[in-house]
């Protein structure tokens, strides 16, 4: 059980005015360790365990310095330096400089008249799981960023609700020499205004799923150096639905997998997710050039199916290079933190059947060892479009997602799924009102199948401040309380077209669409992170050193933002799962959203549906 919350630190700007762009740090009764992970900075002078503040419900507090650098406390007009291992008493409104002259915070302790209400609020917080506004404290260390994902920023939310969230300009940055943008919908006018950096990139390939009319418009309006490509769709009712960005730099390549169409509402009004990692060039003279890894094979196999027209880019120090699928073998993916789960259209047989869709996910999970607590633990399916399903296929899909074993080779066993899906009231009261329902495009005939009733669960996202930001993010996961066995961030909705359906006595997998996702798994904790960045010339390209036998056995643990434990621990990877776990099942009054039904009750903008 969490301790009572009795104080907090308010971040300040250098002029000592409140910095509303950074989250407040809540302090519980008893010792609170504050360090680099609590502050929106990569300043290495801040230790992971920099200071400990110990407040009490009576209104007193003390500070001790745990790190290697001194701290300054300003109290009653005096400025006092506190050296490492030193301790000092604190009073309300004291100012703290975590590094002398840098990283300012004001301590707020409860006044005597407020102490009773603080204790009551603390009691209520304990009862509710202590997870309110958890996103405030989601500030992953730079070394852990590739191991987690980020939510996209949402307009209209308070600054703290967008802590560590990203926009398109956080992704497309630096001296990009070539780019491949993969998506379903592309609003060229918005894209160029929202991300003007794209105009200056010498070569840009746009792989899309737009119809002929939109494609003709984009063709007329696009910059001259842009190339458009719509992959072949050999099976009817398929789409090119994958959402990814590949940016080539003089130092390496940035791989981005996300859930947003290249349109305004997707990057500003909805709950979305994004993962990215930078990878260096393979070294020609390195005798220890890494062997091909699973991530590399999966990536190149997927890109090869797209069959885009290769183009030539001029790369500093490398001359003219042809950009095709094979080009992406020139990078070192040995430190990839995720596995790719892709779908491509076709009738897949033999070994190809296990390369794509839910059979690929099944194959990888079957090779993974999970903690015993995940035996028969539940599953979550969360997405924004529901296909025409039947119970047979749902069992087939569930068998794939229930794969995996424990250390004693015992299968994890069947996981009971819940489907997180917005209700009509969720959409009506959302940031966009009923208009949000345009991006939750499932008809009544798919949504109201009787066998689905037992699976429905609510979109509740108070801890991420996204209950009113309707989900376009797609995620699938297996969990136990706030611990996660595995987590998939993907473009795939819950449909046979996206995931594939077994045919011919399970000897063939039929997939209609292109999809792409990233799978987060427990993995060995590496003793030296390869903190490589394509945009930071000071970042390291050193290989991860070999672990000892004991270190290999120590694996990362995936947890939610609301998990109560030591996030400073190297093996803890916090994922910003935007919705509540465990999900709350629908009540008898809840109605799942379907976009072809009429709704006469007015939304937050006074509109009815359809308009």
SS3 for 569-591, per residue? Answer: CCCEEEECCCCCCCCCECCCCCC
pLDDT for the residue numbered 508: 98
241 catalytically annotated = yes
- Specify the CATH number for 145-339; select among 3.30.870.10, 3.40.605.10, 3.40.50.1100, 3.30.420.40: 3.30.870.10
Catalytic residue among 50, 103, 241, 358: 241
* Residue 490: closest CA among 346, 341, 387: 341
* pLDDT tens sequence across 493-544: 999 999 999 999 999 999 999 999 999 999 887 633 568 999 987 666 555 5
Q: What is the mean pLDDT of residues 222-240?
A: 96
CA-based torsion, 450, 452, 454, 458: positive or negative: negative
User: Within 10 A of 264 (CB to CB), how many other CB atoms are there?
Assistant: 15
User: Within 10 A of 605 (CB to CB), how many other CB atoms are there?
Assistant: 10
240 catalytically annotated = no
Q: What is the mean pLDDT of residues 576-582?
A: 97
At 29, the pLDDT band (50, 70, 90 cuts) reads: confident
Integer-rounded Cα Rg, in Å, for the chain is 25
At 113, the pLDDT band (50, 70, 90 cuts) reads: very low
According to DSSP, the residues that pair with 516 across neighbouring strands are 342
Task: For domain 5-130, say whether CATH 3.40.190.290 is its number.
Answer: no
Q: What is the mean pLDDT of residues 214-228?
A: 95
Burial class (CB in 10 A: 0-12, 13-18, 19+), 17: exposed
Counting other chains too, the contacts that 12-17 makes at CB distance below 8 Å and 24 or more residues apart are 12/95, 12/104, 12/105, 12/106, 13/104, 14/104, 16/95, 16/104
Token pair of 583, please?
A: 């999900």
Q: What is the mean pLDDT of residues 174-182?
A: 97
How many Cα atoms sit within 13 Å of 266 on the Cβ side? 25
How many Cα atoms sit within 13 Å of 50 on the Cβ side? 22
Asked whether residue 238 carries a pLDDT value surpassing 60, the answer given is: yes
Token pair of 210, please?
A: 């737009």
pLDDT for the residue numbered 554: 78
Contact yes or no for 391/417 (Cβ under 8 A)? no
pLDDT for the residue numbered 117: 46
Between 35-44, 114-123, 425-434, the lowest mean confidence (pLDDT) is in: 114-123
CA-based torsion, 479, 569, 460, 6: positive or negative: positive
pLDDT for the residue numbered 154: 95
Q: Where in the chain is the domain with CATH 3.30.870.10?
A: 145-339, 357-527+542-575
pLDDT for the residue numbered 109: 84
At 42, the pLDDT band (50, 70, 90 cuts) reads: low
Please report, rounded to a whole number, the percentage of residues in the chain having pLDDT higher than 90.
75
Asked whether residue 487 carries a pLDDT value surpassing 60, the answer given is: yes
* pLDDT tens sequence across 377-391: 999 999 999 999 999
What is the three-state SS of 238-255? CCECCCEEEEECCCEEEE
Q: What is the mean pLDDT of residues 214-220?
A: 95
Catalytic residue among 50, 348, 358, 472: 472
* pLDDT tens sequence across 248-299: 999 999 999 999 999 999 999 999 999 999 999 998 765 555 567 999 999 9
pLDDT for the residue numbered 549: 46
Compute the mean pLDDT over every residue in the chain, rounded to the nearest whole number. 90
- Give the DSSP letter of residue 224: T
User: Within 10 A of 239 (CB to CB), how many other CB atoms are there?
Assistant: 18
Token pair of 313, please?
A: 């880019």
CATH architecture observed for domain 357-527+542-575: 2-Layer Sandwich (3.30)
Task: Give the position of tokens 């259209």.
Answer: 345
Asked whether residue 123 carries a pLDDT value surpassing 70, the answer given is: no
* Residue 98: closest CA among 61, 48, 164, 140: 48
At 35, the pLDDT band (50, 70, 90 cuts) reads: confident
Q: How far is CA 278 from the centre of its chain?
A: 16
According to DSSP, the residues that pair with 64 across neighbouring strands are 52, 87
Annotated binding site for substrate: 243, 474
For helices 357-366 and 391-401, what crossing angle results, to 10°? 40
Annotated binding site: 243, 474
pTM flag (> 0.95): no
Asked whether residue 132 carries a pLDDT value surpassing 50, the answer given is: yes
pLDDT for the residue numbered 23: 67
- Helix, strand, coil shares of the chain as percentages rounded to 5? 25, 30, 50
Q: Which residues contact 472 (CB under 8 A, 6 or more apart)?
A: 259, 260, 261, 266, 270, 271, 272, 384, 439
Between 36-45, 117-126, 370-379, the lowest mean confidence (pLDDT) is in: 117-126
* pLDDT tens sequence across 547-574: 444 445 678 999 999 999 888 888 999 9
Asked whether residue 129 carries a pLDDT value surpassing 50, the answer given is: no
């Amino acid at each position: 059980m969490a301790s009572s919350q009795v104080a907090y630190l308010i971040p300040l700007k250098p002029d000592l005015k409140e910095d509303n762009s950074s989250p407040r740090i809540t302090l519980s009764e008893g010792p609170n360790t504050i360090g680099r992970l609590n502050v929106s900075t990569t300043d290495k002078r801040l230790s992971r365990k920099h200071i400990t503040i110990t407040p009490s419900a009576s209104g007193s507090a003390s500070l001790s310095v745990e790190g290697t650098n001194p701290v300054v406390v300003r109290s009653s007009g005096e400025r006092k330096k506190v050296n490492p291992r030193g301790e000092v008493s604190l009073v309300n409104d004291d100012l703290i400089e975590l590094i002398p002259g840098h990283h300012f915070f004001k301590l707020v302790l409860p006044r005597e008249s407020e102490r009773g209400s603080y204790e009551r609020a603390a009691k209520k917080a304990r009862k509710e799981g202590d997870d309110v506004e958890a996103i405030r404290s989601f500030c992953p260390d730079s070394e852990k960023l590739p191991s987690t994902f980020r939510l996209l920023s949402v307009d209209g939310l308070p600054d703290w609700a967008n802590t560590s969230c990203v926009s398109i300009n956080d992704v497309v940055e630096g001296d990009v020499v070539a780019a491949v943008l993969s998506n379903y919908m592309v609003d060229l006018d918005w894209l160029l205004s929202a991300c003007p950096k794209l105009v200056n990139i010498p070569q840009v390939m746009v792989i899309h799923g737009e119809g002929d009319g939109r494609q003709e418009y984009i063709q007329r309006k696009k910059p001259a150096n842009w190339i458009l490509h719509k992959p072949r769709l050999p099976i009817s009712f398929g789409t090119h639905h994958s959402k990814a960005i590949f940016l080539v730099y003089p130092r390496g390549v940035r791989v981005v997998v996300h859930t947003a169409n290249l349109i305004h509402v997707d990057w500003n009004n909805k709950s979305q997710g994004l993962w990215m990692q930078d990878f260096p060039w393979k070294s020609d003279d390195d005798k220890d050039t890494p062997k091909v890894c699973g991530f590399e094979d999966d990536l190149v196999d997927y890109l090869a199916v797209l069959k885009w027209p290769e183009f030539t880019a001029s790369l500093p120090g490398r001359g003219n290079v042809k950009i095709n699928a094979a080009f992406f073998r020139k990078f070192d993916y040995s430190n990839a933190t995720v596995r790719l789960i892709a779908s491509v259209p076709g009738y897949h047989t033999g070994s190809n059947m296990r390369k794509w869709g839910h059979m690929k996910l099944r194959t990888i999970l079957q090779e993974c060892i999970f903690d015993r607590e995940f035996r028969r633990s539940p599953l979550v399916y969360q997405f924004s479009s529901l296909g025409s399903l039947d119970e047979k296929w749902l069992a087939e899909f569930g068998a794939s997602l229930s794969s995996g074993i424990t250390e004693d080779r015992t299968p994890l066993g069947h996981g009971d799924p819940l489907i997180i899906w917005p209700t009509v009231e969720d959409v009506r009261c959302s940031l966009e009102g009923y208009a949000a329902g345009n991006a939750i495009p499932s008809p009544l005939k798919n949504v109201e199948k009787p066998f689905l009733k037992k699976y429905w669960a609510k979109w509740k996202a108070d801890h991420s401040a996204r209950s009113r930001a309707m989900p376009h993010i797609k995620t699938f996961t297996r969990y136990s309380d706030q611990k996660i066995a595995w987590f998939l961030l993907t473009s795939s909705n819950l449909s046979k077209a996206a995931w594939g359906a077994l045919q011919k006595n399970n000897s063939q997998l039929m997939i209609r669409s292109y999809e792409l996702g990233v799978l987060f798994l427990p993995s060995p904790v590496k003793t030296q992170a390869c903190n490589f960045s394509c945009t930071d010339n000071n970042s390291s390209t050193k290989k991860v050193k070999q672990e000892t036998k004991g270190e290999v056995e120590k694996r990362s643990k995936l947890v939610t933002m609301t998990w109560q434990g030591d996030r400073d621990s190297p093996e803890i990877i916090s994922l910003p799962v935007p919705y509540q776990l465990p999900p709350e099942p629908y009540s008898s009054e809840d109605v799942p959203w379907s976009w072809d039904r009429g709704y006469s009750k007015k939304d937050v903008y006074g509109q009815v549906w359809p308009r």
